[in-house]
Amino acid sequence: METIKKLDDRQVLNFDTDYIQDNDWDRLCEYLLILFPEGDFSFLDIGGGNGVFCDKVLNAFPQSTAVLLDNSEYLISLNKQSERKRIICDSVENIDILFPEEKFDVVFLNLVLHHFVSNSYKATYKNVTNTFFQLKSLLSPRGYVYVFEDFYNGAIFNGLPGYLIYTLTLSKIFARLTRKLGANTAGTGVCFRSRKQWGKIINKCGYKIIHEGESHLFTFPLWKKILLHMGKVNMGYLWLKKIEG
């Protein structure tokens, strides 16, 4: 895996929040109860940040246990301590080293995959696919991966909005401009993908989508939609199961 670019302390401040809204939370809990009727599951929260989401899961399912992984010292420091939660400040790049023998029933990837950015689009793509490949060895026999992401679908060309946003936000030359346009990751980069692109990646990495749904629909000014070739842009979730064999 390539080295993943790290957000600076100023940029990280904007991620001290919980992006999982009430409707998404309710649907998540409903499906967790279908998968684990007794509520006795272990989970890994990758990019878990301030721990708000992790703690909500632990509180809702008293028989569950958690490991939270994040590379931001600041966000890690905001976590509440719990006997049922292990907190690790490290990068997803090292998950094969961090968990050589450990298995999880659920791996949560909440709005984090688009931050696995490196200095080229190809390397950024490999960061995502390598992560999915490495997660296979961390899943228990009843293990699942939960992906919650922003889907940037192109008006005509499917993957173009994500590529344009990646190119603009990665550039330090345009950092001041992209920051004014609302890109918190200006100068570091962010790489969104369309729903179709995620489907191809998931299939390539040996998973199948067993359940999915759409969430918040974003609206943008017409000039921004034209500039970035944006079609439908929305949040959505995907439940994945690795394909055996």
pLDDT tens per residue, range 14-73 = 666 777 888 999 999 999 999 999 999 999 999 999 999 999 999 999 999 999 999 999
The pLDDT value given to residue 179: 77
pLDDT of amino acid 141: 96
Mean pLDDT of 229-239: 97
Structure tokens at 227: 């500039």
| pLDDT for 17 | 72
Beta bridge mates, 86: 67
Count of alpha carbons within 13 angstroms of residue 60, beta-carbon side: 18
pLDDT at position 7 over 80? no
> CA–CA separation, 205 vs 134, rounded Å?
10
Spatial separation of the C-alpha atoms in residues 162 and 158, rounded to whole Å? 9
Give the rounded percent of residues in the chain with a pLDDT score beyond 70: 95
Q: How confident is the model at residue 115 (pLDDT cuts 50, 70, 90)?
A: very high
Q: What is the mean pLDDT of residues 75-94?
A: 95
pLDDT for the residue 181: 67
Contact 8, 188 (CB under 8 A): yes
Average per-residue pLDDT in the chain? 92
Q: What's the rounded mean pLDDT across residues 174-198?
A: 83
Confidence band for 2, pLDDT divided at 50, 70 and 90: low
Torsion angles phi and psi, residue 182, rounded to 5: 105, 10
pTM of structure: 0.94
Q: What is the pLDDT of residue 238?
A: 98
| Alpha helix segments (H runs only) across the chain | 9-12, 22-35, 52-60, 73-77, 95-98, 121-135, 160-170, 175-180, 195-204, 222-227
What per-residue confidence (pLDDT) applies to 117? 94
Token duo for residue 117: 């950015």
Provide the pLDDT for residue 18: 76
Residue 178 confidence (pLDDT) = 78
At 222 the pLDDT is 96
Q: Which of 41, 52, 45, 50 is nearest to 12 (CA)?
A: 50
**Cα distances (Å, whole numbers) of residue 41 to 2, 63, 66, 71, 124:** 31, 7, 9, 24, 31
pLDDT of 80 reads 94
Three-state SS at 234: strand
**pLDDT given at position 83:** 96
